[in-house]
């Protein structure tokens, strides 16, 4: 089966958007028997992170959440980006063949500048480091959201150029697997769920706070007895993303939106249904997370094992690249 690589930046608590857009894909691929490499993108975070204490806390929390959601270190290599120095060496080798024009095409760089992020070199060359992450472990399949497809295509372009320039098949060209619409989960305000927007829903939050958060989801003003379009409602969209579009509960909820009946059906009912679904769906994960928070030694050992596996693979790749360039 194809070797899989993916990662998440440690920018804060993982939320439902991360789960439906990334983590669930990791779990599906793990269950299918793929060789998995899943990392915490600590170097990528430095393009904007400026609080070292908070960064260390975020990194630890991401690993805990990976494990709580169900990633199994016996099946998935979990590691920190900065524990695999071969990646940064490979990034330099790739930078020496990458045309400036490729980096200038990166839409995400322009988008982040438009949002007020500092125009540092790390942000500009972000796709290069991402390419090194992918190519360092000979990844064949990379799960991505729609906003990351261009970066995967850039990685393929850079790998192909390297192979061509040095007339050696150093890198295989990775394919991507699109997260689909689940990766565009709406937040409490109806915009894309994102930590930067402050509109996220944390499935590990204490139950009273979690229920309150779900009840705060923005809806329109249609009344109890008025028919409603579920496709236009953030509450329904989140419910469907978690339960599945063809799940009986999802279909029943959609019908209640469209046909309120004599008793009526309001958005409050939908929010209560979503709260129950989230608590049920993540019940085991919530219990695992509580246990994991008390096991820092176990977390550290998981990361050591993951880094050893990733470095062993990356050393093979870097050795091929060095030989190809004449080092």
- 192 catalytic? Reply is yes
Instruction: Verify whether residue 112 is a known catalytic residue.
Output: yes
Residues 6+ positions from 199 with CB-CB distance below 8 Å? 187, 188, 189, 191, 193
Catalytic residue among 75, 146, 167, 195: 195
Catalytic-role residue among 112, 228, 271, 313? 112
Buried/exposed 5-21: b ≥16 CB within 10 Å, e otherwise: bbbbbbbbebbbbbbbb
Catalytic, out of 105, 192, 212, 271: 192
Could you give the residue numbers annotated as active site? 112, 192, 195
């Amino acid at each position: 089966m194809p070797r899989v690589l993916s990662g998440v930046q440690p920018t804060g608590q993982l939320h439902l958007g991360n789960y439906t857009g990334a983590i669930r894909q990791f779990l599906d691929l793990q269950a299918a028997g793929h060789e998995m490499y899943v990392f915490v993108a600590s170097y990528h975070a430095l393009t904007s992170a400026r609080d070292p204490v908070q960064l260390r806390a975020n990194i630890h929390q991401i690993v805990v959440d990976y494990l709580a959601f169900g990633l199994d270190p016996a099946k998935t290599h979990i590691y920190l980006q900065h524990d695999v120095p071969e990646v940064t060496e490979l990034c330099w080798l790739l930078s020496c063949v990458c045309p400036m024009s490729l980096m200038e095409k990166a839409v995400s760089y322009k988008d982040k500048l438009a949002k007020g992020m500092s125009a540092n070199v790390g942000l500009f060359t972000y796709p290069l480091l991402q390419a090194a992450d992918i190519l360092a472990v000979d990844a064949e399949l990379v799960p991505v959201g729609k906003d990351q497809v261009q970066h995967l295509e850039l990685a393929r372009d850079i790998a192909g150029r390297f192979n061509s320039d040095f007339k050696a098949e150093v890198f295989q060209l990775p394919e991507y697997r699109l997260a689909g619409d689940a990766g565009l989960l709406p937040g409490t305000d109806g915009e894309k769920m994102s930590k930067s927007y402050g509109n996220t829903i944390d499935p590990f939050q204490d139950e009273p706070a979690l229920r309150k958060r779900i009840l705060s989801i923005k809806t329109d003003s249609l009344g109890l007895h008025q028919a409603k379009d579920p496709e236009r409602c953030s509450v329904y969209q989140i419910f469907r993303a978690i339960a599945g579009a063809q799940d009986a509960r999802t279909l029943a909820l959609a019908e209640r939106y469209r046909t309120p009946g004599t008793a009526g059906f309001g958005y409050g009912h939908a929010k209560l249904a979503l709260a129950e679904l989230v608590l049920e769906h993540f019940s085991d994960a919530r219990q695992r997370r509580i246990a994991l928070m008390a096991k820092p030694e176990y977390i550290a050992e998981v990361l050591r094992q993951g880094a050893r596996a990733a470095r062993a693979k990356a050393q093979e790749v870097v050795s091929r690249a060095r030989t190809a360039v004449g080092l």
